[in-house]
Amino acid sequence: MKSGYKILWTDHALSELNDTIEYLEKKWTERELKNFSRKLDHTIELISKNPELFQVFKKNDVRRAVVAKFNNLCYRVNDDTIEILSIFSNRQDPDKIKI
């Protein structure tokens, strides 16, 4: 993946991504899982090329990108890096987002 900004994942975001993948492996087909993976890669590529593309979601310049119908990616721009803070399921209570 070519990118203008370096992508850094927080431990929290990696943990949420792992939980999401485990859930999807149980509930979705392999085809749907691959489709989600492609959408996630595409969203990260868009963010890396144009980090201001998606709306500001919370204070401290945290932005949110919709990856798929039920999943958001929250991130913050730091100089020449993108810090991925959370992969959040839209089916959860939005107050549970830990950023």
Kindly list the domain boundaries of the chain, sorted by start residue: 6-90
Return the higher-pLDDT residue of 4 and 76: 76
* Confidence band, pLDDT 50/70/90 cuts, at residue 99: low
Return the higher-pLDDT residue of 33 and 8: 8
pLDDT surpassing 60 at residue 95: no
Return the higher-pLDDT residue of 57 and 84: 84
CA torsion angle for 55, 92, 5, 7 (degrees, to 10)? 170
Sheet holding 71-78: strands in order across? 6-9, 81-89, 71-78, 62-68, 56-58
pLDDT of residue 23: 84
pLDDT surpassing 80 at residue 92: no
pLDDT of residue 40: 95
- Average model confidence (pLDDT) for the chain? 86
**In whole angstroms, what is the distance from residue 47 CA to residue 53 CA?**
7
Enter the CATH code of domain 6-90: 3.30.2310.20
